[in-house]
Amino acid sequence: MRVVVTGAAGFLGSHLCDYLIDRGHTVIGLDNLITGTTRNIEHLAGNKRFKFINHDVTEYIYISGPIDAVLHFASPASPVDYLEFPIQTLKVGALGTHKALGLAREKKARFLLASSSEVYGDPLVHPQQEDYWGNVNPIGPRGVYDEAKRFAEALTFAYHRTHGIDTKIARIFNTYGPRMRSGDGRVVPNFITQALDGKPLTVYGDGTQTRSFCYVSDLVEGIYRLLVSEVNDPVNLGNPHEMSIIDFARKVIELTGGSSDIVFEKLPVDDPKVRQPDITRARDLLGWEPTVGLEEGLTRTIDYFRKLAKS
């Protein structure tokens, strides 16, 4: 296939580019580098099956020649980023999705939207199934990301129903691994960098809130299976193993071999109290479930951050 990946220089986008190229596909990666970095794709420089274009996908996207698939991963994805870039986050969810869908329609290509578990907001249903509509504060500080993704899903389905585009929606739960930015504000890089620096780990709230952590290689495998499937309804992709943030902090301290303390700060506004995917649909329709255990994935990620600190 000849594939367009928006957000190609980001954490998930860059791993997706690697996966596609490793399977013989040709990738055209787009990114405006607001939160992505060319460091994530520099190893692809000179690869005949990869082309990078510095482009803001909220503007018209022109790609010459045939395209088989468009995968829309462009967006700030951490609270630090979308609180710093609230309008850009809304624009890439709305205008960016519109432009990416327009490209897919023009090229008669299939389309995959990188949505998020944040469409469920602070959920009142646990674990979260795809038929749950969510509990989102549209005007809260997190609403710029949550509602951008919810609008993107609505637009994607409108193009599917109206124009007959073969669309896919991946609702991505917490994913971690190499190439995360140390300062992006998400819990995994926060805890690892604090532990490696011998600093206290910052836990927001009392630490009883839960998350489920999926290693990036598992997530990308699920994305690809969804892309080549006949499924059009949204599909949760994530690791169903749920744990509290306080237990996760202790695990990071253990695996880094450190002795950091844990300090507590006020819980951010609208921060979800629970987060756990029901992946029944992914298991049944895609034959997919995570295979990388937490200790294995965290060890790989810690090694990446150790090397990053030395570079």
CATH of the domain at 48: 3.40.50.720
Domain annotation covers residue 130: yes
- 224 a catalytic residue: no
Check the CA dihedral 185-191-193-194 and report its sign. Answer: positive
| Structure tokens, 251 | 């695990």
Give the per-residue pLDDT at 187. Answer: 94
- Catalytically annotated residue among 120, 145, 159, 215: 145
Domain annotation covers residue 20: yes
Domain annotation covers residue 308: no
Domain annotation covers residue 10: yes
Angstrom distance (rounded) from CA 193 to CA 190: 6
Predicted TM-score of the model (pTM): 0.96
Angstrom distance (rounded) from CA 90 to CA 34: 14
Angstrom distance (rounded) from CA 30 to CA 32: 7
Provide the 3-class DSSP secondary structure of residue 182. coil
Of 275, 32, 100, which is closest to residue 8 (Cα–Cα)?
32
Domain annotation covers residue 181: no
Give the per-residue pLDDT at 269. Answer: 85
Give the per-residue pLDDT at 183. Answer: 80
- The structure tokens 């020649």 sit at 65
Domain annotation covers residue 164: yes
Q: Is 170 exposed, middle or buried (0-12, 13-18, 19+ CB in 10 A)?
A: buried
Count of domains in the chain? 1
Domain annotation covers residue 14: yes
Range of the domain at 232: 2-176+214-238+276-290
Residues 175 and 214: beta-carbon distance below 8 Å: yes
Q: What is the pLDDT along the chain (311 residues), one digit of tens a residue?
A: 999 999 999 999 999 999 999 999 999 999 999 999 999 999 999 999 999 999 999 999 999 999 999 999 999 999 899 999 999 999 999 999 999 999 999 999 999 999 999 999 999 999 999 999 999 999 999 999 999 999 999 999 999 999 999 999 999 999 999 999 988 889 999 999 999 999 999 999 999 999 999 999 999 999 999 999 999 999 999 999 999 999 999 999 999 998 999 999 998 888 889 999 999 999 999 999 999 999 999 999 999 999 998 87
Domain annotation covers residue 305: no
